[in-house]
């Protein structure tokens, strides 16, 4: 099994892929199921918090990228919502 730092990086990469895929579906006006996304992001955060502080700092760029994708998905969802409604 890989070390915890590598596992956390792999989890972040997987989250990025999921978020990008979800955003692409939303932007294409396709249905998207976001079930489980919160749990996956929560596990990623927990995995990074479990790292030694110096190892956790190395994950910062990936976490910033994940946050940017979450924000982009939120923007796409708001844009796809019928007028006057938040999703």
Which residue carries 């972040």 as its tokens? 12
- Distance, in Å, from the CA atom of 49 to the CA atom of 55, rounded to the nearest integer, reads 10
Q: Which residues touch 11 (CB under 8 Å, ≥6 apart)?
A: 40, 43, 44, 47
pTM comes to 0.87
Residues of the chain with pLDDT under 70: 1, 83-87
Model pLDDT, residue 85: 55
- Distance, in Å, from the CA atom of 19 to the CA atom of 3, rounded to the nearest integer, reads 24
Model pLDDT, residue 2: 81
Model pLDDT, residue 1: 53
Model pLDDT, residue 81: 80
CA nearest neighbour of 32 among 43, 20, 41: 20
Which residue carries 């994940």 as its tokens? 66
Model pLDDT, residue 21: 96
């Amino acid at each position: 099994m890989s070390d915890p730092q590598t596992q956390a990086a792999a989890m972040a990469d997987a989250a990025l892929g999921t978020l990008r895929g979800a955003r692409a579906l939303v932007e294409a006006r396709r249905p998207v199921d976001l079930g489980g996304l919160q749990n996956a992001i929560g596990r990623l955060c927990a995995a990074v918090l479990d790292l030694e502080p110096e190892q956790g700092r190395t994950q910062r760029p990936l976490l910033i990228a994940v946050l940017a994708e979450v924000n982009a998905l939120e923007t796409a969802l708001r844009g796809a919502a019928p007028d006057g409604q938040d999703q």
